[in-house]
Amino acid sequence: MILITSLNGCKAFTKNFIFVRKITNCMNNNDIITDDQKKFARYAKAMGHPIRLYILTTLSNQNCCYSGDLSEVLPIAKSTLSQHLKELKDAGLIRGEIEVPRIKYCLNRENWEEARDFYKKILGE
């Protein structure tokens, strides 16, 4: 059964007791979502995988490391590791420096501290 109703000019759909509301046209996300919240959501997305958390933990416990060192420890393909490193780098949590023939990865300390402080704040610590 599909039920379509109107909610403040927006359509709401109900299918098999699941209620989904389309908000894109109802409210401008910029009215309630701050730039900081968007940035921290990006950090959270990047940290949303156990392999990435391992990489961040490793980098936080040492100065830097090379992708080859990580590929020897982690039970994943080098291409998969590369994608995880790219996600962390794109989020701004790590930096990569090319030192031919290897790439050295380090935490982006400024963003790492910012993310850590934000999580402490929202977790009430």
CA gyration radius, the chain? 20
Nearest to 89 by CA among 39, 43, 40: 43
DSSP symbol at 8: T
Res 124: pLDDT: 84
Q: What is the pLDDT of residue 31?
A: 75
* End-to-end CA gap in the chain: 46
Q: What does the alpha-carbon distance between residue 26 and residue 30 come to, in Å, rounded to a whole number?
A: 12
The pLDDT score that the predictor gives to residue 29 is: 61
Closest CA to 88 of 118, 62, 60: 60
Q: Which domains does the chain have, with CATH numbers?
A: 2-31 (no CATH), 35-123 (1.10.10.10)
Q: Give the pLDDT score at 60.
A: 93
Closest C-alpha to 84, from 114, 47, 110: 47
Residue 77 one-letter amino acid: A
To which residue do tokens 């379509």 refer?
A: 4
Query: What is the block-wise mean pLDDT of the chain (125 residues), using blocks of 10 residues?
Result: 45 44 53 89 96 95 92 94 97 95 95 91 82
